[in-house]
């Protein structure tokens, strides 16, 4: 009987389907449920049980796999040679050291700054050049939203600037590329010299190919960019399409964390150990207003990426822990074994003298 309410109908639901079943399958008009392993919940199944053997094996295997991985990762990280130079403090002339903001905002001050780095070990080509910013929240909600991916991609969507405020339009014309992210494009530049010989910096192919090909349009040219009252960062060459503005593309891939590096370029020759590298920095980018640090990083790379011991240490720790657990379980198993599935352990079978549940 089908009536209102889900309650009865579900029971009837079973019923109605079954009637069609049975009319197909059997002539009898019986309501007897069709037997199948599925409906009787008897599908063939595997029932893993955590036996001591299985547990010990699992831990041992994890230990055996993890420790070598950890060691390999550590050594890979060790082989990465990295030079880090924080220059935001050092590049401010001493007479401005109390008012760095005035120094960086003034257009008349000399922004050039020379730093000397020494190469600790042989750095094999390619040597990657990064700039590292600290305390710069590229993941701030206001910031990450302030872009227009449609506009970046195609000329047709030039006016798609609705998320870009307060850098959406300039004098009623849309800014391309709009938004805070593009506006705050990093604009320090670096020149590298070894023994007065300039090292060539390859700034090609520092961005993802996918970005260059699909995300940033080759027909989109910068317009009205950095023309407003407040200049946030680098200017763009308005004759180069966005797909070739690789610095912008890199910058627009917003960093996940407040301390981040971005690829600046590559030096495609080996740097010998103990070589002195002179870096001429054009220090334009204003991190002084919020106390952000700026660093220049030269680094080789390995399969694990940059220099970071964490993965290696983590793997060794976890692997060691697993081996330790395996040993402990072996000991426990030897000292205090329990026969699996012994009905005499069932609570109602245990002798009262034993362990009452």
Partner 1 sequence: MDSKIPVENLFSIEPVLSSSSRRSISTHSKASSGNSIREVNFSDLGSKPVRYGSHGAESETYSMSQKEINDEDARLVQINDPVKTNERFEFAGNSIRTGKYSILTFLPRNLFEQFHRVAYIYFLVIAVLNQLPQLAVFGRGASIMPLAIVLLVTAVKDAYEDYRRHRSDTIENNRLASVLVNDHFQQKKWKNIQTINLDGESNLKTRYAKQETVLKITEKEKIAGLIKCEKPNRNIYGFQANMEIDGKRVSLGPSNIILRGCELKNTAWAVGVAVYAGRETKVMLNSSGAPSKRSRLETHMNSEIIFLSLFLIALCTVVSVCAAVWLRRHRDELDYLPFYRRKDFSEAEEENYNYYGWGLEIFFTFLMSVIVFQIMIPISLYISMELVRVGQAYFMIRDTQMYDESSDSRFQCRALNINEDLGQIKYVFSDKTGTLTENKMEFQCASIWGVDYSGGKATSQDQEDGYFVEVDGKVLRPKMKVKTDPELLQIAKNGKETKDGCHVHDFFLALAACNTIVPLILDTPDPIVKLIDYQGESPDEQALVYAAASYGFMLIERTSGHVVIDIQGVRQRFNVLGLHEFDSDRKRMSVILGFPDQSVKVFVKGADTSMFSVMDRSMNINVKRITEAHLYSYSSLGLRTLVVGMRELSTSEFDDWHSAFEAASTALMGRASLLRKVASNIENNLCILGASGIEDKLQQGVPEAIESLRTAGIKVWVLTGDKQETAISIGYSSKLLTSKMTQIIINSNSMESCRKSLEDAIIMSKKLTTISGNINNTGGTLGTVLTPVALIIDGTSLVYILDSELEERLFQLACNCSVVLCCRVAPLQKAGIVSLVKKRTVDMTLAIGDGANDVSMIQMADVGVGISGQEGRQAVMASDFAMGQFRFLVTLLLVHGHWNYQRMGYMILYNFYRNAVFVLVLFWYVLFTCFTLTTAITEWSSVLYSVIYTSVPTIVVGILDKDLNRRTLLKYPQLYGAGHRQECYNKRLFWITMIDTFWQSAVAFFIPLLAYWGGTIDASSIGDLWTLAVVILVNLHLAMDVIRWNWITHVAIWGSIIATFICVIIIDAIPTLVGYWAIFEIVKTGKFWLCLLAIIVAALIPRFVVKVLYQLYTPCDVQIAREAEKFRTLSESAAVEIEMNPILDPPRR
> Can you tell me the distance from the alpha carbon of 92 to that of 186, in angstroms, rounded to the nearest whole number?
18
Q: Which CB sits closer to partner 1, 114 or 324?
A: 324
User: The tokens 């402990």 sit on which residue?
Assistant: 328
Task: Tell which one of 94, 98, 195, 230 touches partner 1 (CB under 8 A).
Answer: 230
**How many CB atoms are located within 10 Å of the residue 126 CB?**
15
Single residue of 67, 73, 177, 192 touching partner 1 by CB under 8 A: 73
Q: Decide: is 27 part of the binding site for partner 1 (CB under 8 A).
A: no
Q: Binding of partner 1 at residue 334 (CB under 8 A)?
A: no
Choose the binding region for partner 1 from 115-123, 136-144, 188-196, 270-278 (rule: CB under 8 A): 136-144
Question: What whole-number distance in Å separates Cα of residue 164 and Cα of residue 177?
Answer: 9
Note whether 4 binds partner 1 by CB under 8 A.
Answer: yes
The CB-of-106 to partner 1 minimum distance in angstroms stands at 15
Q: Which of residues 139-168 bind partner 1 (CB under 8 A)?
A: 139-144, 147, 149-150, 153, 165-168
Q: Does 235 bind partner 1 (CB under 8 A)?
A: no
* Interacting residue with partner 1 among 20, 195, 204, 342 (CB under 8 A): 342
With CB under 8 A as the contact rule, which of the stretches 91-99, 106-114, 237-245, 248-256 interacts with partner 1? Answer: 248-256
Exposed e or buried b per residue across 321-339, where buried means at least 16 C-beta atoms within 10 angstroms of its C-beta: ebbebbeebeeeeeeeeee
Q: Closest distance between partner 1 and the C-beta of residue 141, in Å?
A: 4
For the segment 32-51, give every residue that binds partner 1 (CB under 8 A).
Answer: 32-35, 39-50
Rounded to the nearest whole angstrom, what is the least distance from the CB of residue 139 to partner 1 in the complex? Answer: 5
Beta bridge partners of 202: 266
Considering only 9, 60, 109, 282, the residue that binds partner 1 (CB under 8 A) is 9
**Residues paired with 116 in a beta bridge:** 278
Residues 306 and 82 sit within 8 Å (Cβ to Cβ) = yes
Q: Is 138 in the site for partner 1 (CB under 8 A)?
A: yes
Measured from the CB of residue 98, what is the shortest distance to partner 1 in angstroms?
Answer: 17
Please, which of residues 258-277 interact with partner 1 by CB under 8 A?
258-263
Q: Closest separation between CB of residue 351 and partner 1, Å?
A: 7
| Residues between 301 and 320 with contacts to partner 1, criterion CB under 8 A | 303-306, 308, 310-311, 314-315, 318
Contact positions with partner 1 (CB under 8 A) in 95-134: 130, 132
H or E stretch covering 132: strand 127-133
CA dist., res. 251 & res. 121, Å (int): 30
For residues 294 and 287, is the Cβ–Cβ distance under 8 A? yes
# of chain residues touching partner 1 (CB under 8 A): 122
Q: Name the one range near partner 1 by CB under 8 A: 86-94, 113-121, 271-279, 300-308.
A: 300-308
CA angle 256, 261, 263 (to 5 degrees): 115
Q: Which of 208, 223, 278, 284 binds partner 1 (CB under 8 A)?
A: 208
Residue 338, classed as helix, strand or coil, is: coil
Nearest distance in Å: CB 143, partner 1: 4
Tokens at 3, concatenated: 């009536």
Cα distance between residue 81 and residue 301, in whole Å:
8
Per DSSP, the residues of 151-162 read HHH-GGGTT--T
How far is CA 188 from each of CA 98, 131, 150, 228, 294, rounded to the nearest angstrom?
Answer: 21, 9, 28, 20, 10
Tell me how far, at minimum, the Cβ of 94 lies from partner 1, in Å: 24
| 321 neighbors 67 (Cβ within 8 angstroms) | no
Coil vs helix vs strand at 174: strand
């Amino acid at each position: 009987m089908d009536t209102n309410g889900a309650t009865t109908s579900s029971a009837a639901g079973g019923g109605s389907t079954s009637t069609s079943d049975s009319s197909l399958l059997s002539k009898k008009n019986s309501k007897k449920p069709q037997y199948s392993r599925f409906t009787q919940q008897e599908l063939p199944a595997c029932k893993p049980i955590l036996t001591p053997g299985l547990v010990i094996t699992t831990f041992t295997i994890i230990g055996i796999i993890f420790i070598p991985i950890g060691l390999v990762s550590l050594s890979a990280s060790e082989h990465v040679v990295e030079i880090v130079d924080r220059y935001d403090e050092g590049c401010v002339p001493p007479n401005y050291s109390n008012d760095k903001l005035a120094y960086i905002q003034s257009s008349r001050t000399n922004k050039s700054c020379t730093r000397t780095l020494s190469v600790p070990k042989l750095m094999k080509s390619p040597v990657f050049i990064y700039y590292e910013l600290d305390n710069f929240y590229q993941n701030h909600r206001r910031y990450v939203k302030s872009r227009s991916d449609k506009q970046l991609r195609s000329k047709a969507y030039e006016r798609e600037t609705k998320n870009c405020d307060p850098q959406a339009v300039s004098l009623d014309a849309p800014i391309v590329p709009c938004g805070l992210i593009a506006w705050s494009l990093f604009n320090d530049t670096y020149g590298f010299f070894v023994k007065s010989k300039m090292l060539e910096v390859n700034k090609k192919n520092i961005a993802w190919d996918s970005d260059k090909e699909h995300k940033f349009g080759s027909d989109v040219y910068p317009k009205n960019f950095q023309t407003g009252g407040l200049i946030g960062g680098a200017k763009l060459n308005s004759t180069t399409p966005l797909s070739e503005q690789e610095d912008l593309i890199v910058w627009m891939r917003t960093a996940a964390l407040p301390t981040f590096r971005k690829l600046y370029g590559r030096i495609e020759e080996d740097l010998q150990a103990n070589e002195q590298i002179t870096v001429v920095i054009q220090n334009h980018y204003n991190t002084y207003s919020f106390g952000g640090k700026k660093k220049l990083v030269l680094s080789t790379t390995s399969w694990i990426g940059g220099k970071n011991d964490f993965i290696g240490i983590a793997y060794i720790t976890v692997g060691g822990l697993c081996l330790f657990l395996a040993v402990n379980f072996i000991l426990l198993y030897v000292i205090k074994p329990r026969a699996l599935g012994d009905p005499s352990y069932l609570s109602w079978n245990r002798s009262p003298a034993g362990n009452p549940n």
